[in-house]
Amino acid sequence: MGRELHITGRFRHALRSALNIAAAGLLAVSIAGCATGTRDPKPDPMASEIGGEGDEFAARIGFGASAIWSSTVRPVKEPVSTLHRLVMLTADMLGGIIAAPLKAIAPAGAETVVPLAADGGMDLVAWENTLDDLTGTRQTLGTVDYLIDGKAFYPVLYDAIEGAEKSVDVRLYIFDTDDVALDVADRLKQRAGAVRTRILLDGLGSSWASGEPPDTLPRGHRAPLSIADYLREGSAVSVRIQANPLLAGDHTKSIVIDGERAFLGGMNIGREYRHEWHDMMVDLRGPVVAGIRRDFESTWDRASMFGDVGWLVGALTRGTIRNGGGGAKMRLLATRPGDDQIRRARFAAFERAQRYIFVETPYLADDDALDRLVVAARRGVDVRVILPERNDSALMDDSNRAAARTLLAAGARVFIYPGFTHAKAMMADGWAAFGSANMDWLSHAVNREMDVATSDPDIAGRLKRDLFMADFRHAWELQQAERPELVHNVAFAGVWQ
């Protein structure tokens, strides 16, 4: 199977490259049309306060309007981005279709596997050199503090906002309209008069969240229909809503304070993340923050009324962004249109691991990732996966159930975290990666994502101790039943429904 998986990756990469080259001429012609693009109107067409049952209905209307706007009008403003994303998504899907028959006819016994090591696992120095070539990224320096669960993250965030001296730059998939979200919004509005405050939101993510109030929302809470308008009202906060070409999202969650400190991970702003879900953010300092700043600035420029032209002007006029300081070696990995760094790094780690692979994810919905985990487990690697007991998506529940049965059959271990874990992290023989990316096709090929990866023994060791070993103890291990259907009907009865 190892050879089959390499065939899939090579075909997808080659097809993406070919389509990218073929589209280059069209992209060059299209950029001329950006200068005459329409002015971006207010992203949220309705801005009133409502309460009770009307909230969800109105939010659905807002979501539908946002979807229509992202799919039709905004491509006029961002023709280059839309065409590029279309090319890359087409390449990825066609690559999978072309590679499938080759996987089926690959000769049996042609697997290429790394022999298991008796002691040390992967050579992490050689592995980092491999990542340089595989992902096109380079290591930088930085420090990492883990903030596990909202009780750890939110107080630190509040202090950081209050102590900001120059700027607060927030980039989120979801900024909700519940009590916790409005409290954070009020804190940002209060500081906006003293420091530059910019909020960059995904158009679909925040619109959809407004229609999904958490079960524990205080009685009588009145949610504004538009969080963007709420943030703008009576304040100096600048808010931009990102377009969603082809309904793809920006799933990145980053908050940069004074350009020197960054929070990155799986948490959005809302009650679930503060009080209900298991999740993780990291507090980063040092040169690594420069990469997060650069990505924010580029995305902020593209979300302006000038779209791709705004992005181009910013790229040509913006100076070099650097951060001083030191720390351990680490790198940023991203998912962008045509550049699936996170997927390539993860898959290569699964293929090269010799001792153990730990994964914690709310959604395990990428067949290629599952295939590699199965191959690793069958060759004797200690593969352990943590999945949530209850999911926020019935579709993902089904996917997780199917993945769990497949992993158990291959000899991997599956742990069920009580409630909902939204944490996104993995380890392979001492290499750690964590951030915003789920273990699914959306995070690997469609949405924009950002992870941090490192082989530093202290950072990786703390992730192993504080997240994985703690969660293995807190979760319950799913046992393989004699018949696969029992895994579904007994082990998940009343839980994964």
What tokens were used for 302?
């593209």
Q: Are residues 293 and 405 in the same domain?
A: no
Q: Are residues 312 and 342 in the same domain?
A: no
Q: What is the mean pLDDT of residues 386-405?
A: 90
Tally of domains in the chain:
2
Angstrom distance (rounded) from CA 156 to CA 164:
12
Q: Are residues 337 and 444 in the same domain?
A: yes
Q: Please tell me which of 175-184, 308-317, 476-485 the model is most confident about, judged by mean pLDDT.
A: 175-184
Q: Are residues 167 and 296 in the same domain?
A: yes
Q: Are residues 299 and 353 in the same domain?
A: no
Q: Are residues 401 and 343 in the same domain?
A: yes
Strand 431-435 vs strand 449-454: parallel, antiparallel, or unpaired?
antiparallel
Residue 236 in domain:
yes
Q: What is the mean pLDDT of residues 81-99?
A: 60
Q: Are residues 482 and 354 in the same domain?
A: yes
Q: Are residues 459 and 397 in the same domain?
A: yes
DSSP SS3 for 85:
helix
Structural domain range at position 317: 150-277+288-322
Q: Are residues 305 and 382 in the same domain?
A: no
Residue 23 in domain:
no
Return all residues near 200 (Cβ < 8 A) that are at least 6 apart.
Answer: 169, 170, 171, 172, 239, 240, 242, 250, 296, 299, 300, 303
Residue 120 in domain:
yes
Residue 5 in domain:
no
The pLDDT score that the predictor gives to residue 44 is 38
Which ranges in 211-317 belong to alpha helices (H)? 227-232, 271, 288-302, 307-317
The pLDDT score that the predictor gives to residue 74 is 60
Q: Are residues 451 and 340 in the same domain?
A: yes
For residue 375, is pLDDT > 70? yes
- The string of pLDDT tens digits covering residues 5-41 is 333 444 444 444 444 444 334 333 333 333 333 333 3
For residue 62, is pLDDT > 80? no
Q: Are residues 300 and 269 in the same domain?
A: yes
Note the Cα 221 to chain centre separation in Å: 30
Query: Residue 437 maps to which CATH number?
Result: 3.30.870.10
Return all residues near 244 (Cβ < 8 A) that are at least 6 apart.
Answer: 66, 67, 70, 71, 74, 202, 203, 204
| Residue with the two structure tokens 């910013």 | 314
Residue 83 in domain:
no
Q: What is the mean pLDDT of residues 146-163?
A: 98
- The string of pLDDT tens digits covering residues 435-483 is 999 999 999 999 999 999 999 999 999 999 999 999 999 999 998 743 3
Q: Are residues 262 and 119 in the same domain?
A: no
DSSP SS3 for 22:
helix
Final residue belonging to a domain, choices 267, 301, 322: 322
- The string of pLDDT tens digits covering residues 261-313 is 999 999 999 999 999 999 999 999 999 999 999 999 999 998 888 777 877 88
The pLDDT score that the predictor gives to residue 15 is 45
Q: What is the mean pLDDT of residues 146-166?
A: 98
